Structure 1
Amino acid sequence: MLSRVAERIYWMSRYMERCENAARLINVNTKLLLDLPRGVSVGWGTLVDISGGGDFFQKDTDNADERAVMRFMLADTNNPCSLISAITYARENARITREVMPSEIYELINDLYWYLKENLARGTARRERHILLEAVISRVQQFTGMLAGCMSQNDAYSFIRLGRNLERADMTSRIVDVGASRILPRAYEDNSSNEPYANILWMSVLRSLSGYQMYRQHVLDRVNAEDVVMYLFQDPLFPRAVEHCLGELADCVARLPNNDEVLRVLASVRRQLKTADFTVLIDDGLHDYIDNVQAEIASIHQVVAATWFLPEVQVAS
């Protein structure tokens, strides 16, 4: 298949996954308000940090208010990680490459685009926000299921899986890194009376990935930092765990030509992940380790792009 087609469907898949991830994060952060004790507030700026949109927010994320963050995360066209930006990019990539996918795929993406355009204003109010975000999650899952059930398992489908799983791995690492330390305010760290609510924090991290029930089946113990981090990074069976996503990537890459360099980089990242001792890292060094994982995930994308996509055109200044 053509390199430009492969690149566009890869990014279409990443942007659709980004839509679902953003919807999950906002939904869970909103629901967290109902679980926290009186006097403990939700840090809304955390959502900006997790999404990587701090450079575009132009405000102090530590003191960001709910309404400003909601506008930024849902409807700000200058934010490449907002819901409206992600679905716009996904729609454009799908429109250009619609001949390689079932026609229902573009129709579904287009319907979601217009649904968001017409209903985004409802997202600033908590009462309406849940309905909007659940609709986004449901339609992206429908998109994923329709591809799995209706599209030939060819090279195009492999690039779609590549984009989806790389985006998932990146978002899971971001949630653990930023969400675990900042969804509850710094008062949690400074005031030992808040310590009993640590499990609420970790439950919200799991629920943002729809992993709470699967975690409880896998780990027969109370929700705690060490087990949650190990589960979300090293479990090979949970679809949103980093190790599972990297395993899916390896399977996709093995089906594509000229894959030696990508497989080598993937094997190196998976080796580092499997040998990580989170028992030690939880106490000291977890943030630096996750930063390294995110850099390695970015390197996978760079190798994928260099192997199968068109080189970037250098524009003379």
Structure 2
Amino acid sequence: MLDRIAECLFWIGRYTERAENHTRLLDVYYHLREDGGEEAESTWKRIAEAIGDCALYEEKHEGYRERDVLFFLTLDADQPNSILSCVSQARNNLKKIREQLPSELWNLLNGFYLWLRGMEMDEIARQAPHHFFRRLKEGLAAFQGTAVSISLRDESWHMLESGRYLERSENVVRLLRSVGGIAPEERKGSYGYTMALLKSVGGYEAFRRLDHDDLTLEGVSRFLVLQEAFPRSAHFALAAFERHLKEIRRESGKSDSALERTIRLAGKARSELGWLDRNDITMESLNAVLQQLLSTNRQLGEAVASIFFSPGREVTA
């Protein structure tokens, strides 16, 4: 697989996953403003910190108002982490390698991008942001579902999926850090944020089905970090990332020492999470766990870039 193809596939996976993650989080946080917890500005600042660049936001806007934050995180083409920018980056990468993936995927992503680029904040406000977020989730789910249904399970598929799952692992860190700063005296009233965490990943029903009754920030944090059976947990994502790297090794038929080290690093990270006990994750220890996860994810991203991408190319986004 050529370097340019591997790089494009990896970032298609990452950017489409990132766009979906941002959409889910925004949709849930949008409704938190009605729960009577923090002031509205504090709620919007927290979500801007979770998925955007506050310094860049403050250069453009005076305060954290709903309309300004929604535009900044969804439709601002000058903001590299906005949903529009993520979809645009995924589309640009897919455009470069259209011959490597089914044509249906290009048609879906291109049409979705054109629809999103044509949206205006006034139109979003008229139809209610919840409907807009639902349309975003449906469009991104259609792309992923089609990819799962018709893509050949070769090196290209496994590279695409490795990017998706590495991004998903990082998203757990972003989610939990977005609520990890809640002061101890405010945690008794943190039910809204606890539900936001679960609903943003579609995990409420899974949490209850597994007989978890610890509906606290600590309990949900443990679930999102340690649960092996839930597809949007850090443990599941790292295990999937490791598995796809092993499939790339098998498909290529090559034994590359750098690839072997990366697979071992992913396996070590997954194993370390597997050895953690529920009591090892508390609000006091959570930040250290997340910092280690973030460091590991960065190492894995850099390792993939050094093995598969052209030298000198940007490896983070």
TM-score (norm 1): 0.88
Secondary structure, counterpart of 2:220 in structure 1: helix
Runs of 5+ consecutive residues of structure 2 not aligned to the other structure: 250-255
1:245: Cα distance to partner? 0.5
Describe the superposition over 1:148-179 as per-residue Cα deviations: whole angstroms up to 9, x where unpaired: 11010000000110111111110111101223
Contact persistence 1:123–1:132 (CA under 8 A)? no
Task: Tell me if 1:254 matches 2:246.
Answer: yes
- CA change 1:271–1:60 in 2 (3 A) is farther
Contact persistence 2:222–2:281 (CA under 8 A)? no
Describe the superposition over 1:167-195 as per-residue Cα deviations: whole angstroms up to 9, x where unpaired: 1110111101223435xxx6xx446xx72
Structure 2 counterpart of 1:233: 225
Secondary structure, counterpart of 1:249 in structure 2: helix
- Provide the C-alpha distance between the structure 1 equivalents of 2:269 and 2:154, rounded to a whole number of angstroms: 26
Structure 2 counterpart of 1:276: 276
Moved more, 241-250 or 216-225: 216-225
Structure 2 residue aligned with 1:209, among 201, 216, 219? 201
Moved more, 99-108 or 117-126: 117-126
Task: Tell me if 1:223 matches 2:223.
Answer: no
- Provide the C-alpha distance between the structure 2 equivalents of 1:271 and 1:95, rounded to a whole number of angstroms: 37
Moved more, 234-243 or 287-296: 287-296
Contact persistence 1:71–1:124 (CA under 8 A)? no
- Provide the C-alpha distance between the structure 2 equivalents of 1:130 and 1:122, rounded to a whole number of angstroms: 14
Structure 2 counterpart of 1:70: 70
1:51: Cα distance to partner? 1.3
- Provide the C-alpha distance between the structure 1 equivalents of 2:71 and 2:119, rounded to a whole number of angstroms: 13
Runs of 5+ consecutive residues of structure 1 not aligned to the other structure: none
Instruction: Within 5 Å, give how 1:148-163 maps onto structure 2.
Output: 148-163=148-163
- Provide the C-alpha distance between the structure 2 equivalents of 1:290 and 1:38, rounded to a whole number of angstroms: 25
Contact persistence 2:218–2:283 (CA under 8 A)? no
Describe the superposition over 1:90-134 as per-residue Cα deviations: whole angstroms up to 9, x where unpaired: 111111111011101011001111111122424762852112111
- CA change 1:122–1:261 in 2 (3 A) is farther
- CA change 1:260–1:129 in 2 (3 A) is same
Describe the superposition over 1:186-230 as per-residue Cα deviations: whole angstroms up to 9, x where unpaired: 6xx446xx72x3222211111011111111111341412232111
- CA change 1:122–1:244 in 2 (3 A) is farther
Moved more, 277-286 or 260-269: 277-286
Structure 2 counterpart of 1:121: 121
Q: What CA RMSD, in Å, does the superposition of the two structures yield over aligned residues?
A: 2.4
Structure 1 counterpart of 2:290: 290
Structure 1 counterpart of 2:252: none
Structure 1 counterpart of 2:192: 200
Q: Determine what percentage of the aligned residue pairs are the same residue.
A: 24
The size of the alignment, in residue pairs, is: 305
TM-score (norm 2): 0.88
- CA change 1:127–1:287 in 2 (3 A) is farther
Contact persistence 1:74–1:123 (CA under 8 A)? no
Moved more, 54-63 or 11-20: 54-63
Structure 1 residue aligned with 2:236, among 226, 237, 244? 244
